[in-house]
Structure 1
C-alpha cells in the first residue's frame, strides 16, 4: 500500500512539474529547457496560449441580426451558414488576423457576432476617412488602428447580400456605352445636386445614392484638412469660393486612382463628385515658410531632364557656378538669369518663382529644403545645391513665421464613371428559386443547378440565347461568384453551372446563391468596443484579485487545518495549474481523448471503491462522463476567457476549497472517534463523497442552465465555473487523498494537533440551534417583510436588459454641470427633434481617440435595435424625454436613462450636450429594443424557475434512500423555501442600496442570483446529507434531535467554506474590475445570506414540515 502511494506521489510530482512548466511563458521555458530555442518555444506557445476576450485585451464586437421572416424554416440553417461565410470572406478581405465569427441566439433572433481583436491593413486614406487625422500609419496607436479596422468592417460587412445576373459588354459597348453611362451618371448626380441646392439635406441625398448605387457611389464626411491635403484638385480650386454650410453648385471631375483591367493594362479610374463645405478654421501650419525662386541647371541623365538637355554633369556644374557668379556680381537680375538659363520649364518664364513655399514638411527634396530653410534674409542667395534633378541656385523672396492656413471639413458624394465590363440584365434575385448540388453523370464531377420561377425561366432563356459561348456573371452581395460560359440556349427555368468544383466548393457556391436569392438581410444591431488599455487594466485587476484571494484562502486553510491545510494549499496550487493548462492548451483530439480517458478511469476507479448503491453509482458515473466530455473540450480548444469568466475562475478557487474542507472535517471526525490515521483518511474520503458529489452536481445543474439560457457573457461565467468545480473535485479526491496517505506510517501522523484535531477530555457540548429556530425565522421574516415593502415603496430598478431603452454614461469636466441642466438639455433636444426632425449632418459617428487617459479617452459602446416593426425612420422620428432619468455617477459623471432611441437620435442628443459642454466625454452607450428586453427578461425568469425545479427534483432523487417515515420531497421543498428567502432578502438589500447609489437589476444580477442559488443548495445539501446519514444510522430517531446534531457536525464546514468563498469575493470587490463590482457584490451578499439560511432556515423548515405532516 505504502509502495503504491509512493509511486502515486512520484507521478503527482512529475505531473505537477509538467503542468507548471507548460503554464510558464515561452521565454522562461526556453531558459529552463536547454534543448529548445526561444523560437521553437514561441512557436509552440503561440498555438497553446490563453485566449482573452475583448473585455480583457481590447477590441470590437459587431452584432448582426439575420432577418429570417421570409425564409422557409427548413432553409434556415443553410441560409445562416451562407451569410456567415459571406461575412467571413468580407472580414478576411480586410487583412484582420484571427477574427472570431460565430452565430448566436439573442432574444429569439439569429445573430452573427463578429469579434475583431487584431487590427487590419490600414492606409493613409483610411486614416483620413475613418480617423479624420493627418497622422501617418506608423504614428497610429493600437487603439487607433482598431478603430479604423472597426469602421472598415462596418462599412464592408454590412453590404446588402443580393443575387445579380449580368452579361458581358462588347468592345463597342465598352467604348460607346461608357460615354452614355457616364452621361447618365452625370445627369443623375446633377439631379441630386439640384435637390440639395433646393434645400434638401446633403447627407440624406448622398446616403440614398450610395445605397441605390452600390459599388458606384460613395458618400464620405471628412475631418479638418488643409487645402493641399484634399484629394480632389477640383475641390482645392473652388473651396475658397464657398461659405460655411453651402454646397458647390457644379459637378467636379476627379481621378479615383489607378487599377488593372482584365487585359492587364493599367487604367485610370475617372469619377465625378459634388461636395459641401461643413466648416473651416485657421491653424498655424508652419513655424517658418520661405517663398523662393530657383534656377535649375540640368544635365543629360538627370531626373526629369528633357531631351533638349545635352550637357554633361561636369558642364552643368560649371555653368551653375558661372550663373551664381553673375548673380553675385549683379550682372543681371535673378529673374532674367532664370529665364535665360533655368531648365525648369514650368517656371523659367516666371523668373523661377516656385508656387509652393518651402517648409519642413518634406514637399521638396531634403537638400533643396535644407538649403532654402537656411536662408535667413529676403534676397539671400544659396550656394549651388546638387540634387537628383541637377544643380540649383535658390533665392529667398519672402520669409514668414507662424504661417496660418485654413483647414476645411467637407462631405462629398462621388460617382465612378469608369467602364464596367458587365451590364445588368432583367434577371435578378427575385426570379431565383433555389440552387442545389448535383453530380454530372458524364464527368462525375459536382455541378450546381439553379432553378428560376416562371418569369425568371423566360428571362433566363432569352439571356442564354443571346449569350451562347459568352459568360454570364453571377454576383452575390456585389461580389463575383462565378462567370460560367453558356454552351447553348437553356429553357425550362433550370441552369447548370459546371466547373472544376470539389464537392465542398459546389456546396459553398449553391449556398452562396441561395443566400443571395432568399430575402435574408443582415442588420447591424449591436456594437461593443473597448480600448486595449482598458482591457489590460481589467486583466491586471483580475489577476491581482485572483492572486490576493488565492493567498488569503491558503493562509486561512493553514491557520485552521495546519498540515491538512498545507495539503489543501498544494492541491489548490495544482488545481490552479491544471486550470491554466486546460484553458491554455489546444491539443490534437486524439491526445485530448487519451488524457480525458485517463482522468475518467481515475475517477471511476476512485468511485468504485466507495460503498454506493446502484442508483448512486449511476449518478457518479454520469458525473464522471460529464467531466470526460468537458475536459476533452477544454483540451482541444482555446477557451476564450472574458471578464465575467475570470470572476467564475476566481470564485471557483473559493468553492474549490469546499471539497477539501468536507474531506478534512470528515477526517477529523474519524480521528476523534478513535480511528487510526490511514483508516481516518479512507473513511473520511468515503463518507465525504456523497456530499461532495451531490452538492457539486447541483451547482453543475445551475451552470448548465446559465449556459443554455444566458448570453455570451453569462455563458463564459458558467463554463469557467463548471470547469473549476470539476477540476477541484478531481484534485480533491485524487491528489489530496494521495498526499494525505503519504503521512501514513510517519511520526507526524501521530500528532493529531498538527491536523487541527483537538482531543477533548469531555464530550463537546452541542448547541441546540433548533431551540431558537423561531427567533431565526422571525429575523428572516422581518428581513423578508422589509425587502417586500422596499420593493413596493421604492421598487427595484430593472436594467435596460429587461425593459428595453437606452443608457448613456458621460463625464463632464465643467464643474457647473448639474442633473437639472442636463435634463433641460434633453427636453430642448426633444422639442427640436419633434419639430424639425434630426439634422442629417449629426448622423456621422465620431471617432475619438487618444493615447493617455483611460477614463477620459476610452469609450465602451453597446447598441441593439428593436424589432423591425418598431424601427423608427428619419421621416417619423419622435422622442419623449419627459420621463428621462439623470443620476450622478462618480466624479463628474452622469448616467442618462431614456426610452429606446436609435443611433441617429443618440448622435443628435450627444451633439446638443457637447454644444453645452464642449469637454463632455461619452464612456458608455447601450440601447436595447423593448422586444429584445422582454425576451431576455422572459429567459431570465424561465432560467430561475427551471433551476429551482431541477434542484428540487435532484434532491428528491439524491435523498431517496431514507426511512419511509420521512418524505424525501420535504428535503427538496425545504431547500427551495430557504432559497426563496435568500433571493428575496438579497434583492431587498439591492433595492435599499439603490436608494443611495445607482444599482440596477440586470442580466448579471440574475446570473449572480443563480450562482448564489447553486452555492446555497450546495451548502444545504451538505447539512441534509448529514441528516440523512444520521437518519440511516438511527431510523426511529427524533428528526429534530438528528437535525440539530447534523448542524453541529457541519457547522465548521459551512462556516469555513463560506469564509473561504467570501475571502475571494471580497478580494474581487476591492481589487477587481469596476465593471463587475455589483455582480460580485450581489454574490457576496447572497452567499452571506445563503450560509445563514442553510444553517438556520432550511433545517427548521424541514423539521416543522415533518412534524406537521405527522399530526
Structure 2
C-alpha cells in the first residue's frame, strides 16, 4: 500500500500559505470572516495613527526626604537605647525604599501601563529615558486625541489605598444615588447637554451603565420599564425605577442571575415599530409558517399514546429522536416535520391493593406501632379470615392498615414491574384478579395483597408537534423548512422599541474609602510559609497604621479588603480574623514571581515618588495617515523597480526571484499583524521608522537571490545543466549569505539595545525582514528552481543565462 506521508508536507505548506495570504489581505476584504480571522490587523504607532506623547519626570526628592526621616528616627531610637521590633520595622522599611529606588522606573512604568489600559489603548509604548541624573518615562498613546483626559488619568500621583467592601444596600447609599440621578437630570436641562454626552462621561463609573442604543421587544423590557412602551422621542428623557438581570454565582459556585434594582434615565430613539423577530421555539414557528402557507398544517399532541392511530413513520421517527430534535417524516400523502417534546417508552404495569400490618422495629413503622412481630402475624392471619368470611377489603384496609394507602382502601394504584420490593412483587404476580394472598413478609411488616388488574404492557407515550406538508414536493420542502428553522430564518412580526438608557444601580458593587493609606505603610516583603512552603507577602504598618488596620480588619471579618495602587485594584484578600500588631500576611500567590510582583506594587504605592509632566506632543491622525500613505507608495514603487531590474538582468530566474519576493512581502505583512511568537499578547507596533526598516529590508531581501543567481550563471556558463548548476550555486553562495545577514543582525541588536524607541522599531522590522528573506531565498527560491529544473523548459538555457555553453554531463 502506498504511503500518504509524502503528501503531508505539501498539504501543510499549502494550508499555512493560504492562512498567511488571508491574514495579509486588507481588513475590508476579511469583513465576512469569523472574528478570530478578522482580528489580525496592523498596530500603528504614534507617528502613523496619531495620538498623544507625554514625557513624565520621576521625582526622587520626596523619596530622599523619607529616607532621611527614617534614618533620623532610627538614630533617635538607638540613642535612647530602644531596641526590638520598632527599630527592625524601620530598618526593613529603609531597605525596602533603597531596593525600590533601584527599580523605581520599572515599577512606575507598570502602574502607568495599567492606567493606559483603562483608557482602552492597547498599542501604547512606555520607554524609560535618562537625562543627566533625571529619570523620565516617555508615554506614547496612539489614538488618544483627548490630551487632557490622558494627562489626568496617566499623570495622577501614585498612592497606596486600603478600601473596604460595600455590597449591602443602605438608606444612605440609596439616598446618595438618587441625589446623583437628580444632579444628572439637572445637568441634562442645560443647553448643549444630552443623554449621549452624559452617558459617555459617566458610563464607565462603578455602578453606572450606559447603553447607546438598545432594542427591546415587549417581553424583553426590564421589569419597571413597561411605562416606556407607549412613549416616543418627543417625550424627552424619563426616569424609571426598574430592575435588571445581572450574572452572579450561587453558594455552590454555579452561575446564576440576580436582580439588581436601580434608576433608569431613558430616551426613546424610535417609537415601537413592527419588526421581524427571530423565532427559536418550534411550536411558535410552526404556527407562523401555517399562517403564511395554506399547504401547511400544525397540530400539537400532548401525552399521545402511540397506538395504531398514529402513522407508523411518525412512531418510528419518534423512537429514534431525542427530545428537542427536529426530523422530516415521509407520509403516504405528503410529508411532515416532527418536533419531539417528550417520549416515555411503554412498560408492563399492574394494579394492586394491600393491607399492611407493621410491628415495632419494622422499616417506616410509626411510633404508635408497639406490637411484636409475632403479634403482627397473628393480626394479619385474623384479617385474612375476616376477608374469607365476606368482609370488604377496603373496609379492613381503612381500619387496620398501617400503610399510607389505608386511607384509599389499600389501593396502590397502577405501578410497573420492579417498583415494589421483590417479595411483594413475586407474591402479587402469582395471584389471579381479585385473589388475596396469605400474609407476605417484607421489611415493612406483613402484607395481605389483592390483585386488582394483572400485569399488562402499556403503549409508548409521546408529546410532539407536527407540521404536515401537502403537495408533490413535500419531502424537499420539509428539508428546506428545517434548514430555515435551524438557521433562525423564521420571523414573527412584533413591535420593537429603540431606547438610549443610563442606569444607576441601587445595589452597591464597589469599595469604600478608609483612613488607612500609604502614609502609614512600612514595607512589603516576600517570605515562604513554613507549613505549606508557598510564597506569602508580609506587610507592616507604623503604630498609627497598626491601630487603623486592626479596627479595619475587626469590622470586615469574612469580607474582602481591597488594596489599590495608583487607583488600580491589585489585590482583594478576604479578612479571616482581626489582625493586631501592625503586621499581616497576604496569601493566594501561587508562585514566587506572583508574590514578588504584589510586594513590588505595594512598595511602589507607599514610596513618595510623584511624577511630573515635563512635555507633551499631539500628532493628528491625518498627518499619520499621510505619512503612512507616502511610505506605502514609496515601498510599492521601490518593489516594482526592483522586480523589473530582476527580470531584465536574470530573465526567468528573475521571475522566480520576484515570486519569492511576493512571498516575502505576504509573510512580512502577516507577521506584522500577528502577535509575537503567535501565542503572546505582544504585537509589533508599526512606526514610521519601522516602515523605513521594512522598505529597506525589501531591497535587502533580493541580495541573497543575486548572490545565488550569479553563482548559478557561473556554473551554467561552464556547461552544466540547470539542476546541477543550481545546487552548486546555492552551496557556494550560502557562506556569503550567512555572513552578510549575521553582520546585519548584529547591527540590529546593537541598535535595539542602545537606541531610542524609534531606532528600536527600525531595528526590529529590519531584523524580522532578514529572517524572512533567508527563508524565501534559501527555501522558497530553491524549491522553485528545483521544480523548474525538472521541466522541459530547463533545456532552453538562454532563458536563464545569456551566453551559456552547450550543456555537458556533470
With CA pairs under 8 Å and 6+ residues apart, which has the higher RCO, 1 or 2? 2
- What range describes the TM-score normalised by the shorter chain of this pair? 0.3 to 0.5
Normalized per residue, the structure richer in strand is 2
- TM-score, normalized by length of structure 2? 0.46
